[in-house]
């Protein structure tokens, strides 16, 4: 499906977004806004194509993909992203439904806390909010070790460390902390250091995402319907545990989606997902939320 590329100009950013289908939606449903962090529009293209009956908007967060920023910062803060989303939803004539993946799920939580009138339903898929875990301190140390590997040895080492952390099942134990850093070559990653240190996932610029502390009272009282989601194949990996822990704190049980953390795309580094099955489940979950 061809998407209509649009640009929202803000005082300190230009937000590029892509519209799949008409606004307002032909079927009367709100626009479905798909958000990631640091994932950009292209990561949701397969999922958007699998929902031909729904008007979908994907977007690039400020400073990522095609979107620019002139605020003098390179920090990816969910609260700033929430304000950009608020402006975008106003441009779209909101309210909207939101599917947020990973860091985008965190931004979605920040959005409904600040602007609940913008969102009818938020489906927050595996938000990596480390502070809700019983082993939060150990998880934060594991995350910090990823950053050190990147700064000391480069992208391949940093990404290998990230994948090792993301795939670890269960709490972060002394056994985990004592493990040597994974070999980048074992993941098909480059061993050589190209000298760059600006990766948004590894450089520390996205620390406010994993460090986000949800305002639980505000979220519980929100007029938005919040659904926390988890992949059926993510097991006891980090983002599945954060999703389940957050859902419990909100007085709900995480709903299960096909696949793992990237189950909505065939390009997932953990293994190909099924966008069609994921889209079917997303439709069902949103319909249940508004029934």
Check whether 105 has a pLDDT greater than 90.
Answer: yes
Q: Residues 2-43: pLDDT tens digits? A: 789 999 999 999 999 999 987 777 778 899 999 999 999 999
Mean pLDDT lowest for which of 101-115, 162-176, 260-274? 260-274
pLDDT band at 151, cuts 50/70/90? very high
pLDDT score at 268: 66
pLDDT score at 22: 79
pLDDT score at 3: 80
Residues 164 and 75: their CA atoms lie apart, in Å, by 24
Over residues 138-166, mean pLDDT? 96
Record the tokens describing residue 107, joined without a space. Answer: 């931004």
Check whether 162 has a pLDDT greater than 90.
Answer: yes
pLDDT band at 234, cuts 50/70/90? very high
DSSP 8-state class, residue 182: P
Share of the chain above pLDDT 90, in %: 90
Over residues 92-111, mean pLDDT? 96
Cβ-Cβ contacts under 8 Å for 201 (sequence gap 6 or more): 38, 159, 162
pLDDT score at 134: 96
Strands 13-20 and 32-35: unpaired
Average pLDDT over the chain, rounded to whole?
94
Q: Please state the pTM of the whole predicted model.
A: 0.95
Domains of the chain (ranges; CATH) run 4-129+212-290 (3.40.50.1820), 136-187 (no CATH)
Share of the chain above pLDDT 70, in %: 98
Check whether 242 has a pLDDT greater than 80.
Answer: yes
pLDDT score at 266: 83
pLDDT score at 1: 56
pLDDT score at 23: 77
pLDDT score at 271: 65
Q: Residues 245-284: pLDDT tens digits? A: 999 999 999 999 999 999 898 876 666 789 999 999 999 9
pLDDT score at 29: 87
Give the other-Cβ count within 10 Å of 137's Cβ.
12
Mean pLDDT lowest for which of 109-123, 142-156, 228-242, 266-280? 266-280
Q: What is the 3-state secondary structure (H, E, C) of 8-55?
A: EEECCEEEEEEEECCCCCCCCCCCEEEECCCCCHHHHHHHHHCCCCCC
Check whether 88 has a pLDDT greater than 90.
Answer: yes
């Amino acid at each position: 499906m061809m998407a209509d590329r649009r640009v929202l100009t803000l005082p300190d950013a230009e937000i590029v977004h892509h519209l799949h289908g008409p606004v307002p939606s032909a079927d009367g449903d709100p626009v479905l806004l798909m958000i990631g962090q640091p994932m950009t529009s292209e990561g949701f293209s397969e999922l958007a194509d699998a929902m031909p009956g729904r008007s979908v908007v994907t977007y690039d967060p400020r400073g990522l993909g095609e979107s620019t920023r002139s605020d003098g910062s390179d920090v990816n803060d969910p609260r700033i992203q929430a304000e950009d989303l608020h402006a975008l939803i106003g441009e779209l004539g909101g309210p909207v439904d939101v599917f947020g993946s990973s860091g985008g799920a965190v931004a979605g939580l920040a959005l409904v806390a600040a602007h609940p009138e913008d969102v009818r339903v938020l489906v927050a898929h595996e938000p990596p909010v480390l502070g809700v875990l019983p082993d939060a301190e150990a998880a934060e140390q594991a995350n910090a070790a990823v950053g050190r590997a990147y700064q000391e040895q480069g992208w391949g080492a940093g990404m290998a460390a990230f994948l090792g952390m993301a795939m670890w099942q269960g709490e972060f134990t002394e056994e985990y902390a004592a493990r040597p850093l994974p070999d980048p070559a074992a993941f098909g990653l480059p061993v050589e250091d190209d000298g760059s240190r600006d990766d948004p996932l590894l450089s520390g610029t996205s620390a406010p995402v994993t460090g986000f502390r949800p305002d639980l009272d505000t979220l519980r009282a929100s007029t938005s319907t919040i659904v926390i989601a988890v992949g059926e194949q993510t097991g006891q990996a980090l983002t599945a545990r954060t999703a389940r822990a957050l859902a419990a704190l909100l007085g709900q049980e995480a709903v299960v989606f096909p696949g793992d953390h990237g189950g909505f795309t065939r390009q997932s580094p953990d293994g190909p997902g099924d966008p069609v099955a994921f889209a079917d489940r997303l439709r069902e979950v949103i319909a249940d939320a508004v029934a």
